[in-house]
Every structure is written in structure tokens, then in C-alpha cells.
Amino acid sequence: MLIRQFLIGFLVLLFVASLIAGLWYGTRLEQLTIKNIIVIGGQTISHEIVKGKTEAVLGGSYIGLIPRRFVWWYPHEDILEVVKSIPRIKNPVVERVSGTEIKIQFEEYFPYALWCDEIKTDECIFIEDTGYGFSVAPKLSGDTLLRYHSLGLKPLVGTSLLDKTKLTETVRFVNLVQTVQGFEVSTIEVDSMEDVFYILNDGGEIKANLSIPAEIVFANLQSILEAKEFTHLKS
């Protein structure tokens, strides 16, 4: 009985040792080890930065046994998260290409406007043309980009100021009043009722509503400006 138990124990240990040895050597095969990282996408984002951060994630091993570079168990989600953390990267995708390669593909966010906490403040975030806030904006970046302020809605990265259609309408109106009337809009303020206030550089203000198309708002403005009692408002 004792000999039988000893044999069973020996066989179990032998099996475990064989399994560990198999994992050790099998997960270190050259043809199953990630050696190359392909990076595609972006215009201003450094591919070397993406590769460097990915290489860092691939370093080390699981429980000191299985390399993180082993292609079948590579840390896909960890790589995806670290790539997402790189400023301006949009919609990243990580996939295995072969036994030795993975591919990282992404788009890039481009600043379309500023979403600011207050009308006159440097506390702003960048938004893209969909209204989505993707990155904290550095100070003094408001000279070239249109500024937005939302009453009751704090600008936070990962949230949206407006939907793309409404955001586009506000920009169309700004372009119309600038091109035709010569008015320079510095800030656009919106509230929860979708009222919108176009604040001019000279201190004036034009009020409208986001439910009304830009062309109609502009036509109404032109009618007002053409009235004799308002001719002094023209630029």
C-alpha cells in the first residue's frame, strides 16, 4: 500500500514536472515569440512611442514561467489600454498577425475647438469635430481655435459637448457672420435648453437656438441689421 502511494505520488510529480517543462520550452519557441510590432495610423503620433510602450508591456512573464511575448497568451488588453493612454490616439486596434508579429492600428484625434470651463479661462480641453473631448489643452491655445462654454456641463475628457450635427451648425453660423458681416466670434456659450450665445470680440452677443438651422438664424440676423434702427450694429 505504501509503495503504491509512493508510485502514485512519484507519477503525479513527474507529470507536473513534465507539464512545467513543456510550458517552459513550448512557450519559448522562436516561431511563437513576438519579435515584431507593426504600427499603422496617425499623422503626428510617433510610432516609436507606441512601440516603446508596447515593448514595456511585453516584458516579463506570467508567474515567472510563461513569457508575456508568447503569442497565444500575449497581454492584449494591457497593450490596448497603454495605447489608449497615449494622447490623441483614437480607436486603437491590437491584433495578432503571425506567430512572431502583432499589429497596432489607430486613428488620430485632431483639435477642432476648445471646450472651456469658463468663458475667460485657460482651463480647457480639446474637442474633435464630433464634439468629443479627447485631451486637456495646454494654456495659450485659444488664439487659433474657437472656444465653447457649456452652462452646467463641466468639460471632461471622454465626454461630449454637443453632437456633431449641432456643433457643425454653430461653426457654419460663425463662418457666415464672419464672411458676410465681418463679425468675429470669440466664444460660443450653450445651455441645457439649447440656447446658444455667440460672443463677439467687440463685446456684442448674438442669441439663437440650436434647433434652428444656421442659415435661418443668419437670415434673421441680416433682416435685423438691414433695419434702419439697427444699422449702427454693422461691423
pLDDT band at 152 (very low <50, low <70, confident <90, very high): confident
In a domain, 7, yes or no: no
> Taking the CA of residue 126 as centre, how many other CA atoms within 13 Å lie in the half-sphere pointing to its CB?
17
37 shares its domain with 68: yes
**Contact call for residues 57 and 75 (beta carbons, < 8 A):** yes
Res 119: pLDDT: 80
Res 20: pLDDT: 64
Percent of residues, the chain, with pLDDT higher than 90: 64
97 shares its domain with 207: no
**Contact call for residues 33 and 67 (beta carbons, < 8 A):** yes
What DSSP string describes 76-110?
A: HHHHHHHHHTSTTEEEEEEEE-SSSEEEEEEEE--
- Look at residue 165 and give its three-state secondary structure: helix
User: What is the spatial distance between Cα 208 and Cα 99, in angstroms, rounded to a whole number?
Assistant: 59
Kindly list the distances between the CA atom of residue 161 and the CA atoms of 89, 105, 119, 133, 137, in Å, as whole numbers in the listed order: 19, 27, 15, 7, 15
Res 124: pLDDT: 93
The conformation of residue 192, written as its DSSP 8-state character, comes to T
Number of independent structural domains in the chain:
2
Q: What does the pLDDT look like over 92-147, one tens digit per residue?
A: 999 999 999 999 999 999 999 999 998 877 889 999 999 999 999 987 655 689 99
Mean pLDDT of the chain: 87
Residue 22, pLDDT > 80, answer no
Residue 234, pLDDT > 60, answer no
The conformation of residue 231, written as its DSSP 8-state character, comes to G
185 shares its domain with 81: no
pLDDT top residue among 9 and 218: 218
pLDDT band at 225 (very low <50, low <70, confident <90, very high): confident
104 shares its domain with 157: no
pLDDT top residue among 235 and 202: 202
> Taking the CA of residue 225 as centre, how many other CA atoms within 13 Å lie in the half-sphere pointing to its CB?
15
Give the residue numbers spanning the domain of 80.
26-108
What is the pTM assigned to this prediction?
0.76
Q: Point out the domain boundary residue: 83, 108, 133.
A: 108
Q: What does the pLDDT look like over 58-82, one tens digit per residue?
A: 999 888 788 999 999 999 999 999 9
Ramachandran angles phi, psi of 24, nearest 5°: -60, -55
User: What is the spatial distance between Cα 54 and Cα 115, in angstroms, rounded to a whole number?
Assistant: 31
135 shares its domain with 208: yes
Percent of residues, the chain, with pLDDT higher than 70: 84
Residue 176, pLDDT > 80, answer yes
Spell 34-50 as b/e; 16+ CB within 10 A means b.
Answer: beebebebbeebeeeeb
In a domain, 172, yes or no: yes
35-44 mean pLDDT: 94
